Amino acid sequence: MLGEISETTFKWLDERLSLSAVASAAGKKKVPLHKQSFWYYMGGIAMLLLAVQFLTGILLMVYYIPELSSANSSVLFINSQIDFGWFVRSMHSWGANILIFVLFAHMFSAYFMKAYRKPRELTWISGLGLLMLCFGFGFTGYLLPWDEVAFFATKIGIDIAEQVPLIGGILANLLKGGSEVGQGTLSRFFLLHVIVLPLGLFAIAGIHLLLVQLHGMSEPKSFQAQAPEKKKYEMFFPDFFMKDLMVWLLAFNVLATIVILFPWGVGPEADPFAAAPAGIKPEWYFLGMFQFLKLLPAHIGFIEGEKVGLLIFALIGGIFAAAPFIDKGENPKLSMFFDIYGLMILIGLIAFTIWGYLA
Amino acid sequence: MFNLTRKDFIRVLGGFFAAIWAAFATYPFFRYLMSGAEKKTGEDSQVTSLSLGKADDFIPGSSKNFKFGSIPALMVRTEDGAFHAYNAICTHLGCTVQFSSEKKHIFCACV
């Protein structure tokens, strides 16, 4: 009886949605098994954390008020008065930070496994776009609680944006939305954070996921070089997917545990006319770049030091992004160059972040 | 009575634990949304009396809608000079009622 109903329902939907075509395509998807298979889970974890951000973000908007005199107290209200408000807020803050960390792991693992090579160039580029969007989420979201640290970190961020050659002034004014960081900035950052960036994220994440389905899992060269009978695969459905579910469960529970043990606080309300408190630092994922900029002299030649710094970042990032178009896998020397190049970026990033943390 | 295979047993057990996990994971979010309505705003609920002005300011046959704590209220001075205060929430659809000085009765615009 039950089986009959579900069979009829499936048939009805299948005739309209071509479910069996999707199912047979999904049924063919295979995941290569090798020593580095572990990294295949990173994208999935990022997706789960994004879903957590999406859900907790909507929940926070229920009580958050993006208005200058209410923003800080509304976050305090969520943290202290609303049942499990501290939990939802901390899930969002911790989740954001862990998400960025996982995205770094996802990006560098794809990079070092040369997963960006043909035909996955656009997957690589769209992934970098997603990382940039997440940086945007981090920067705009940081201001919303309107506490001391957020206020000054935003001032610093906008000051750095102002140093972007040619369009810096326009960019800074568009972000500020007023003569100073104030209500205009808060409104704009709120809109960017809850509408503009999410729409962009959905679009690019959709493309990214579609491309992953189109190309299947990337196989590292060492795996490809194996004799066909030695290559081991597992089916995506149900084997890998079940493991994916387990990893998601683990990731969610780890996040919830961190949140319960170390709930995220709210700083004192921002006072635009008070002196900046000691130890103002950007979020850790901007810290390395911040520390690098701090080291540069005020002027290099006749150009401002920060401008030179931003140009250096653009150059380093540009080459990193262009890796699939230069390192196509035909030239071992180029391949080696990009290995070393990526390693230098990774080490540099870690070193400057630690340096910035200790400074 | 009925034959439960090992596979089915594991499936049922898995579903059982998944349901428990889901309940634990959703409960905080449910409480989060519920507690907004449950929070008492404090000062409003404590109002027991308030002044609407001098008695002479209200001519017989006039009325005034006012706020009594968090409740909309209505004060009517009838032709005989007596003051009547009501909770102004209509028993029909919960709108706020008003007094018509021409027809000399209380009515609700929400029909």
Q: What is the ipTM of this complex?
A: 0.83
Q: Cα B43 to the chain's mean position, in Å?
A: 16
Report pLDDT for A120. 96
Q: What is the mean pLDDT of residues A337-349?
A: 97
Give the mean pLDDT of A142-151: 94
Q: How far apart are CA A55 and CA A62, in angstroms?
A: 11
The mean pLDDT value for A349-354 works out to: 96
**Is the predicted pLDDT of residue B1 greater than 70, yes or no?**
no
Q: Do A82 and B35 touch (CB under 8 A)?
A: yes
With a CB cutoff of 8 Å and minimum separation 6, the contacts of B39 are A81, A82
| Contact call for B33 and A84, based on CB within 8 A | no
Does the pLDDT value for residue B39 go beyond 80?
no
CB contact under 8 A, B31 and A249: no
Q: Sorting pLDDT into bands at 50, 70 and 90, what band is B40?
A: low
Q: pLDDT for A155-174, tens place per residue?
A: 999 999 999 989 999 999 99
The CA distance from B106 to B99, in Å, is 4
- Which pLDDT score is estimated for B42? 56
**Kind of pairing, strands A232-235 and A30-33?**
antiparallel
Question: Does residue A82 sit in helix, strand or coil?
Answer: coil
CB contact under 8 A, A249 and B21: yes
Residue B43 clears pLDDT 80, i.e. is over it? no
Q: What is the DSSP letter of B53?
A: S
User: Is residue B70 very low, low, confident or very high in pLDDT (cuts 50, 70, 90)?
Assistant: confident
Check residues A229 and A141 and name the one with the higher pLDDT.
A141
Residue A27 token pair:
């049924």
**In whole angstroms, what is the distance from residue A289 CA to residue A292 CA?**
5
> What domains can you pick out in chain A, each with its CATH number?
36-265 (1.20.810.10), 281-359 (no CATH)
Chain B interface includes A249 (CB < 8 A):
yes
Do the chains contact at A87 and B34, CB–CB below 8 Å? no
Domain B58-107 has CATH 2.102.10.10: yes
Nearest one of A128, A138, A98 to A207, comparing CA atoms: A128
Q: Which of residues 76-95 of A touch B (CB under 8 A)?
A: 81-85, 87-88
Q: Which residues of B touch A85 (CB under 8 A)?
A: 32, 35
Lowest mean pLDDT among A28-32, A62-66, A258-262, B38-42: B38-42
Side-chain-side CA neighbours of residue A175 (13 Å): 21
Minimum CA–CA partner of A249 in chain B: B21
Domain ranges of chain B: 1-39, 58-107
**DSSP per-residue letters across A283-300:** -HHHHHHHHHHHHS-SEE
Tell me how close the Cα of A66 comes to any Cα of chain B, in angstroms. 18
Q: Report yes or no: A252 at the B interface, CB cutoff 8 Å.
A: yes
Higher pLDDT: B40 or A60? It is A60
> Chain A contacts of B39, Cβ < 8 Å?
81-82
Q: Give the pLDDT of residue A23.
A: 84
Per-residue confidence (pLDDT) for residue A238, from 0 to 100: 86
Cβ distance of B32 and A249 shorter than 8 Å: no
The answer, for B29 touching chain A at a CB cutoff of 8 Å, is yes
Query: Does the beta-carbon distance from A87 to B25 stay under 8 Å?
Result: no
Given an 8 Å threshold on Cβ–Cβ distance, is A62 in contact with B39? no
Q: And the tokens for A51?
A: 């879903």
Stated as kind and residue range, the H or E segment containing A353 is: helix A332-358
Compute the distance between CA of residue A62 and CA of residue B23 in angstroms, rounded to an integer.
22
Asked, as a colleague might, if the bond just before A238 is cis with ω within 30 of 0, I would say yes
Choose the mutation target among B7, B17, B32, B33 for the interface with A, i.e. most A CBs under 10 Å. Answer: B32
pLDDT of residue A346: 97
Q: Please list every residue in chain A whose beta carbon sits closer than 8 Å to the beta carbon of residue B26.
A: none
pLDDT digits (tens, 9 = 90+) for A269-312: 999 888 988 878 889 999 999 999 999 998 888 888 889 999 99
Mutate to test the interface with B, among A58, A83, A245, A255 (most CBs of B within 10 A): A83
In A, which residues are within 8 Å of B10 by CB distance?
Answer: none
Asked if residues A49 and A98 have their Cβ atoms less than 8 Å apart, the reply is yes
Tell me whether B54 touches chain A (CB under 8 Å): no
- Interface touch A82/B28, C-beta < 8 Å: no
When pLDDT is averaged across residues B78-107 and rounded to a whole number, the result is 92
Does A211 contact chain B (CB < 8 Å)?
A: no
Nearest by CB: A83 against B21, B25, B35: B35
DSSP class of residue A269?
B
Distance (Å, rounded) from C-alpha A193 to C-alpha B38?
29
One-letter amino acid for residue A109 of the chain? S
Q: Is residue B71 classed as helix, strand or coil in its secondary structure? A: strand
- The predicted structure's pLDDT at residue B45: 60
Q: In this structure, are residues A353 and A284 in contact, taking their beta carbons and an 8 Å threshold?
A: yes
Q: State the nearest Cα–Cα gap between B36 and chain A, in angstroms.
A: 7
Size of interface A-B (CB pairs under 8 A): 34
Q: Would you call B29 and A88 a contact, using CB atoms and an 8 Å cutoff?
A: yes
Neighboring chain B residues of A63 at a CB cutoff of 8 Å: 36
What pLDDT is stored for residue A2 in this prediction? 63
What's the pTM?
Answer: 0.89
> In this structure, what DSSP letter does residue A238 have?
I
Query: Coil, strand or helix: which one is B76?
Result: strand
Q: Which pLDDT tens digit goes with each residue over B52-61? A: 989 888 999 9
Contacts of A246 (CB under 8 A, 6+ apart): none
What are A215-269's pLDDT values in tens digits?
988 988 889 888 888 889 999 888 999 999 999 999 999 999 999 999 999 999 9
